[in-house]
Amino acid sequence: MSDFEHVFETPPPGAAADWTISQNWRAYSEEEHATWDILYARQMQILSGRACDAFLKGTRALDLGGGGIPDLALLNPKLKALTGWEVVCVPGLVPDDVFFDHLANRRFVSGQFIRRRDQLDYLQEPDIFHDVFGHVPMLTDPDFADYMQAYGQGGQRAQSLGMLPNLARLYWYTVEFGLIEEAGGLKLFGAGIVSSATESVFALEDPSPNRLGFDLERVMRTLYRIDDFQQTYFVIPSVEALKAVTLQDFEPIYAALKGAEEIPVETILPTDRVFTKGSQAYAARGGRFAA
Ligand code: HBI
Ligand code: FE
């Protein structure tokens, strides 16, 4: 089970058997295109000097800015030429097995809709800005592209072994909320961070959260916050290293995890590599963007 409430159990009317729908790009309103342009301009300003090289390079390679919501018919040939990935639209959250099957076949699923103007800073369900601006630039990186496919394949296996909650934590702490160490210091690559103006600053600069070195088994034991800024972020040494870690057989790791206790969101272990010991002041104030 995922953490989200699925609206549908079977593809809704108008969706194909694999849950995909047409982007129907011509149907977006001027206001919706302008919403993309506002979010894009704001994020690119914030992300300069904060996002990792691969992400910024990806936004340039895909030409994501200035023209409103990207037309997937134009974006997909560029992405396909780089790493063989493509983006398909879905009506909302899809069941885990459907999600994994798309990833295993190098198809990234994106929400078709874009957030309303009163939701610029926060919404719970992934829209096309989160999915395409947040996730797709990293898919232009060959190592990240392989990692995401491996995750899709691993998801199908984890499900059958009853280890999906553990694997989902890996996705959460890397694909959605990962940090990376670069020559210039810590940088952002997680889609949940880079698609959020406030979390882009919080994740990197706020004294509140812990920033700890990535360790596969440790991350798979760590609980996470679904509806607020994270209390701990994990730092990968490189995308290559992340990919290498996930190309190993997870079965012995799953076996070790069976008896292991879950780790609370704010815990620092003696074995952790600590980049930042967080004050946790934000969480102590009650969180959810508390002033
Ligand atoms: N569906 N559209 C969509 N987007 C997601 O990110 C997504 C999903 N379904 C399931 C899911 N994520 C998660 O269950 C996995 O990451 C574990
Ligand atoms: Fe996401």
Q: Which of 5, 89, 96, 129 to mutate to test the pocket of ligand 1 (most atoms within 8 A of CB)?
A: 96
What is the pLDDT, as a whole number, of residue 3? 47
**Residues with Cβ within 5 Å of ion ligand 2?**
191
CATH number of 25-284: 1.10.800.10
Question: Residue whose CA is closest, atom 2 of ligand 1?
Answer: 93
Q: Give which of 51, 84, 73, 88 is closest to 59, Cα–Cα.
A: 51
Task: Name beta bridge partners: 232.
Answer: 210
Q: Which ligand is nearest to the CA of 170?
A: 1
Task: Name residue, tokens 């994020």.
Answer: 43
Report the separation in Å between the CA atom of 134 and the middle of ligand 2, taken as the mean of its atom positions.
7
Asked whether 190 lines ligand 1 (CB < 6 A), one says no
Asked whether 94 lines ligand 1 (CB < 6 A), one says yes
User: In order along the chain (291 residues), what is the average pLDDT of each group of 10 residues?
Assistant: 58 93 97 97 97 98 94 98 98 93 98 95 92 98 97 93 94 98 96 97 97 97 94 98 93 91 96 98 91 71
What is the pLDDT, as a whole number, of residue 290? 80
Q: Give which of 171, 245, 225, 200 is closest to 52, Cα–Cα.
A: 200
pTM for the predicted model, two decimal places: 0.94
What is the pLDDT, as a whole number, of residue 85? 98
Cα dihedral: 187, 190, 194, 196 (round 10): -130
159 CB burial (10 A radius; 0-12, 13-18, 19+): middle
Ligand 1 atom index nearest CA of 98:
9
What is the pLDDT, as a whole number, of residue 1? 39
User: How many CB atoms neighbour CB 52 within 10 A?
Assistant: 27
Ligand 1 atom index nearest CA of 167:
17
Q: Each residue of 207-221: pLDDT tens digit?
A: 999 999 999 999 999
User: How many CB atoms neighbour CB 141 within 10 A?
Assistant: 24
Question: Could you tell me if 37 and 120 are in contact, meaning their C-beta atoms sit under 8 angstroms apart?
Answer: no
Q: Each residue of 121-150: pLDDT tens digit?
A: 888 889 999 999 999 999 999 999 999 999
